[in-house]
Structure 1
Amino acid sequence: MKVDIHNHILPDLDDGAKNWTTSIEMAKQAVDHGLKNIIATPHHLKNNYYNEGDRIKKQCQILNRKLSEAKIPLFIFSGQEVRIHGELLTHLKNGQVLPLAESRYVLIELPTHTVPQYTERLFFQLLCADYVPIIAHPERNEIFQKEPLSLMKLLEIGSLAQLDIGSLRGDFGKKAKKSSKLFLREGIIDFVATDAHDVRKRSIEVMSHLPFVQRLCTANLYQKILQNSNRILSNEWITR
């Protein structure tokens, strides 16, 4: 895996990196694990986190400059992990919400305990506007854990799914671990990512568990999952 599409490496924006020192340490971890690119995805509209597009782009520019000065061979692209809301399409068009790496792909976080009733309608609207919703860590959502078919319904209309590698080792509880294994075996995961927040508890070191992903899905699916992250950077269409 050369690209991490879900990462909280930018400092002082959310519950991720607390300062530039942590960001640099995370970058070094990323390089040690073979990453070439990271898409920074600060939380937006979750709890008290409010990170509009311009702010994120500015932080990416600063971090890329610091990485260049430190001769760390890693590039940071801009993105968001945006909480689902009814004005999402409007905010994409006016730049408040950022797609991943200026592509058509949008990383969307659902509430942990529910799936809003308007989700399917909103995803359909996004797809009609040539944006592709990527559901962040569906294995951690209680509705999808109980009713995997409700996730399938959203994927069938054209949205995609991103799994947190840490779910496979139980970082988010037994139910998330069980669902992550099921979703991989059933072939309904399109991306895996670190969702890294720091250098210890929720770090990029989780990439050492990629062999778990490989064992749970077919060889073809595993290669496709790894390649899909690269396809975002080139804004290629990703199909299931």
Structure 2
Amino acid sequence: MIDIHCHILPGIDDGSKHMSETLSMAQKAVEEGIDTIIATPHHKNGQYENIKSEIIEQVADVNLALADQGIALKVIPGQETRIFGEFIEEYESGKILTLADSQYVFVELPSGHVPRYTEQLLFDIQLKGLTPIIVHPERNSQFIEHPDLLYKFVKKGTLTQVTASSLCGYFGKKIKAFSQQLIESNLTHFIASDAHNVKNRTFKMAEAFDLIDSKYGPDMVYLFTENAELLVENSNVMREVPEPVKRKKFLGIF
């Protein structure tokens, strides 16, 4: 299993604080059946800046430590970049990193709103030959209140990634319900951990896929696990036809 979103690199954001914690996270990941992680430290979120070259160096150090400890996990470079106006310019200058050296790039939105220029930037990213992936849309309050906005983005080519812990209810019932709505409406394409540690923000990937299997069946599990593999291979991921979230049904589940 591949986890495409994880804060496993030590000491560079609000994830792992040091190499020993990184190794603990790696061991926990392996126990859950994860064999590959894309390390996605925060970038340009107002607190952290982690540019491409520094992330690649950190990933190399972590892989050496994993090999030294005999932990059967591979870490690949990635980045979680907060949306900002000069996104394209930073990509062109070599500071923004795609996931696993692929066409796919993470875009993080503020939790409380969707900036007005989001649609234009998502379009501009695609003009560069990249595919934007909005991370944890289920935790964005504007998407929760106005899911048609996310539907519009997905219909125009943007992908999304839901957090395993959200789906399992660790961020509350409302976010869990919305996560399920996104799956049911074909508005998400990846499930990932967004793990930050082994305590309160851990992987929950096995639990999430057990839930998906019981609620939606093995075909949905296959779609999400296969899409992670296709991303790492830089192949086109599977996309079902997106549907608007049924507003009446959506409101009725809270």
**Fold shared per TM-score above 0.5:** yes
Distance in structure 1 (CA, Å) of the matches to 2:147 and 2:188: 12
Q: Which runs of 4+ in 1 moved over 6 A?
A: none
Distance 1:209 1:225, change over 3 A: closer
Q: Which residue of 2 aligns with 1:16?
A: 15
Q: Contact between 1:40 and 1:80, CA under 8 Å: does it hold in 2?
A: yes
Aligned to 2:79: 80
Map Cα deviations across residues 127-182 of structure 1 (whole Å, 9 max, x no partner).
11110000101000011101111101000111101000101232223321121011
The equivalent of 1:170 in structure 2 is 169
Q: Which residue of 2 aligns with 1:5?
A: 4
Superimposed CA distance per residue, residues 174-204 of structure 1 (whole angstroms, 9 cap, x where no aligned partner): 3211210111122221000011000111112
Task: Check the 8 A contact 2:209/2:221 in 1, yes or no.
Answer: no
Alignment correspondent of 2:100: 101
Cα distance change of structure 1 residues 128 and 117 upon mapping to structure 2, 3 Å threshold: same
Answer whether contact 1:112 1:141 (CA < 8 A) is retained: yes
Question: Match of 1:158?
Answer: 157
Structure-1 residue corresponding to 2:141: 142
Does the Cα contact within 8 Å between 2:88 and 2:125 map onto a contact in 1? yes
Partner of 1:29: 28
Structure 2 Cα separation of the partners of residues 159 and 239 of structure 1: 13
TM-score after normalising by structure 2: 0.90
Matching of residues 79-228 of structure 1 within 5 Å: 79-228=78-227
Distance 1:142 1:34 in 2: 32
Using the alignment, how far apart are the partners of 1:19 and 1:43 within structure 2? 16
Cα distance per residue 1:84-110 (max 9 Å; x no partner): 011111211222110001101011110
Moved more, 211-220 or 186-195: 211-220
Secondary structure of 2:46's aligned partner: coil
Give the AA of the match of 2:172. G
Q: What's the secondary structure of 1:96's corresponding residue?
A: coil
Where structure 2 has 5 or more consecutive residues not aligned to the other structure, the ranges are 240-254
In the aligned structure 2, how far is the partner of 1:220 from the partner of 1:128?
32
**SS of residue paired to 1:204:** coil
* Same amino acid, percent of matched pairs: 37
User: Which range is displaced more, 173-182 or 192-201?
Assistant: 173-182
Corresponding residue of 2:57: 58
Q: TM-score, normalised by structure 1?
A: 0.96
Change (3 A) 1:146 1:218: farther
**2: CA distance, partners of 1:205 / 1:97:** 28
* Cα distance in structure 2, aligned partners of 1:27 and 1:222: 23
> Are the counterparts in 2 of residues 184 and 216 from structure 1 also a CA contact under 8 Å?
no
The alpha-carbon deviation at position 221 of structure 1 amounts to 3.0
Q: How many residues align?
A: 239
**Alpha-carbon spacing, 1:144–1:117, altered in 2? closer, same or farther (3 Å):** same
Q: Partner amino acid for 1:213? A: I
Shift of 1:214: 2.4
Q: Distance in 2 between matches of 1:148 and 1:65?
A: 43
Any conservation in 1 of the 2:132–2:158 contact (CA below 8 Å)?
Answer: yes
Query: What is the distance in 2 between the residues matched to 1:87 and 1:147?
Result: 26
Give unpaired runs (5+ residues) of structure 1.
none
Deviations 1:31-61 (A, max 9, x none): 1111111000001111311111111111100
Q: CA deviation at 1:218?
A: 5.0
